Amino acid sequence: MTHAMLKGSNVPLDATAVRAVLRWTPGQGVPDVDASALLLGPGGRVRSDEDFVFYNQPRHPSGKVWRLGKKRVTEGLTDTIQTDLTGVESGVGRILLVASADDVTFDHVRDLRILLYDAAVTDGEPLAYFDIRPETGAETALICGELYRRGDGWKFRALGEGYSNGLVGLATDFGISVDESEAAAAAGSAPEATAWAAPATAPETSVPLPPEQSAPVTQQPAPVPQQPAYGYPQPAAAAVTEPAYGYPQPAQQGGQSAYGYPQPQTAPATQPAYGFPQAVGAGPDPDFRLPPQGPQFIGR
């Protein structure tokens, strides 16, 4: 006999192992739903993070609670948690059966229902079912129901309690420590972050200028030759040659380049001063004598 349950009602379980099946109707705008379970100790909290069974940790270390995964059926999509009730550790008093959505509120999920089956019976009728209706519509995680000990046996209670901060908020409330990477995975935000992330900015690159534009060639003005002062020759200076067709010429002592070719070097000629030839040598000749003088006239 199948029990149609109302919120807060409970039903005893005679089965030694049960399958809790979450079922909903897919469609446009309907988020994906994930089933998970939290094994709670006597204080109503998990004993360690290993007591959290979900898609990134699909099997409890005891091997008595595990996630079967999603399946498409005639009525819609399902995700299932199976529990071996007779093998659950004595320190576990309650097992929460949870539904979470990918950062989308449950008012977008249609026909959400939890069904409880005897795992030992193939294709059997459900033992009980509960249609879950969010209270506010802003919930992103729901405690659909719980398996709990009563004496030597187990019972199932329909709950439908919601959390607006998703699976991370729900799990943290029962003692699960969630780091940033687990939070992103538990919230189902990793695919969304990938889809909506801003494209990476391409690094800026500098384009080199062509060689002819890298440094402009500047030509120096032709030097002004020095003029003699008062007829005296000036000290000889190295002549500055002009560039021919943009190429510098080798320095020369006098002489200009003709058509871009350097001229033979020549010694600068000295100019006479005041029209008299200059003496050659370092000083006067020591053997120089004045010519003999004629008779002197004595004045009267």
Question: At 253, is the pLDDT very low, low, confident or very high (cuts 50, 70, 90)?
Answer: very low
Look at residue 212 in the predicted model and tell me its pLDDT: 45
Question: At 143, is the pLDDT very low, low, confident or very high (cuts 50, 70, 90)?
Answer: very high
Q: Which residues pair with 242 in a beta bridge?
A: none
Q: For residue 213, what are its two tokens?
A: 């534009």
| Beta strands 153-163 and 141-150, pairing class | antiparallel
**Tens of pLDDT, residues 205-227:** 444 444 444 444 445 555 555 55
What mean pLDDT comes out for the span 23-50? 94
If you write DSSP's letter for every residue of 212-248 in order, what string do you get? HHHS---PPPPPPPPPPBTTBPPPP-PBPPPPBTTBP
What are the phi and psi torsion angles at 256 (to 5°)? -105, 160
**Tens of pLDDT, residues 69-82:** 899 999 999 999 99
Residue positions counted in the chain: 300
Question: At 190, is the pLDDT very low, low, confident or very high (cuts 50, 70, 90)?
Answer: very low
Comparing 55-59, 179-183, 207-211, the range with the smallest average pLDDT is 207-211
Q: Which long-range contacts (CB under 8 A, 24 or more apart) does 50-56 make?
A: 51/92, 51/176, 52/171, 52/176, 53/81, 54/167, 54/186, 56/182, 56/185, 56/186
Q: What is the pTM of this model?
A: 0.61
